[in-house]
Amino acid sequence: MVELVRKIKVKSVLNKQKHADEWFLSGYSLNPFSGCSFNCVYCYTRGSKYGENQVPGLAVKINAPEILVKQLKNRARKREYGFIAFGSATDPYLPVEKDLKITRELLMIILRFHFPVNILTRSPLILRDLDILEKIGKKAVLPPELENKMETGVVTSFSFSTTDENLSRIFEPGAPSPPERLKTMKECKKQGFLVGAIFMPLLPFLSDTEEHLEEMIKKVKENGADFILASGLTLFGEEPQDCKTRYYRVLEEHFPELVPKTRALFGNSFAPSRRYQQELHHRVFKLSKKYGIRNSVYKEGNVYGNWFEK
């Protein structure tokens, strides 16, 4: 089936973050597409403020390369270097990228201006661009505050809400399968890249259990993950296509017994309670420690602070 993609023009593609995110190192964010064909049921951009400027359907920011040249040239001149989170809202390696090659073109521009990058994806198509990413890793200028914390200027991060193929087909119907992602991770590690597994979001009562988490952590460890970052589900919006509405609709169809428990967990909030989140992070921390994998993109560290060291 041919995927229909609209072409749009934008005034800006590089978004400066107020504070660098210690989870993703993002001094900047960059998304070449608006909308996504992976169709993940839980996608936080549907119904939240993060999706307010997205156009309906799937669109490519056709003038992104020329805009990025101007923006990075200005930042580089001021030596305002920082990691670019590539794909923070929409996967940069959607199927249409195979022909469009706009992500590849943007990476060439990032290489030209020596910025470090963190790629967040679910797709094996990233393997096509390892040649450019290798060059970026060698030439990237790290911001001073990260020079002693980071070993490279390129991070390859792979997103999972589960490693179970059946669950993935239900909640991520258009995305590459977990085995495809694991295989891609392994190849990136083999090629010498820093590899992360991003467990976001973990699904309440499905992929957030100790048993399921242990299986996920074992699999990503076996396939080259250097670090794991994990967090819980958020649900936004009341409209038919918002993630909250869609998520409960899918639960009703496939796991009706979980609907009351999930509604009770969220209450009137877009996120579960702080206690739930701390318990979830504790499970991730404990199991990560068991399998010898860190919870930080940094060479040393733990994004969960010192909560669980005691």
Residue 143 lies in a domain: yes
Residue 302 lies in a domain: no
Distances (CA, A) of 211 to 19, 63, 169, 224, 287: 35, 46, 20, 21, 10
Residue 54 lies in a domain: yes
Residue 301 lies in a domain: no
What's CA 272's distance to the chain center, in Å?
20
pLDDT band at 48 (very low <50, low <70, confident <90, very high): very low
Residue 29 lies in a domain: yes
Residue 64 lies in a domain: yes
Residue 252 lies in a domain: yes
Residue 221 lies in a domain: yes
Cα–Cα distance for residue pair 187/179, rounded to 1 Å: 12
pLDDT band at 229 (very low <50, low <70, confident <90, very high): very high
Cα–Cα distance for residue pair 168/160, rounded to 1 Å: 9
Residue for token digits 């022909």? 99
pLDDT at 255: 97
Residue type for position 135: K
Q: How many structural domains does the chain have?
A: 1
Q: Which class for 195: exposed (0-12), middle (13-18), buried (19 or more C-beta within 10 A)?
A: buried
**Sheet bearing 59-61, strands edge to edge:** 6-8, 59-61, 33-34
Q: Domain of 44: which CATH number?
A: 3.20.20.70
pLDDT at 299: 85
What pTM does this model have? Answer: 0.91
Least confident range of 53-62, 143-152, 155-164: 53-62
Residue 264 belongs to domain spanning = 6-290
Over residues 268-281, the pLDDT tens digits come to 999 999 999 999 99
Over residues 29-47, the pLDDT tens digits come to 999 999 888 889 998 766 5
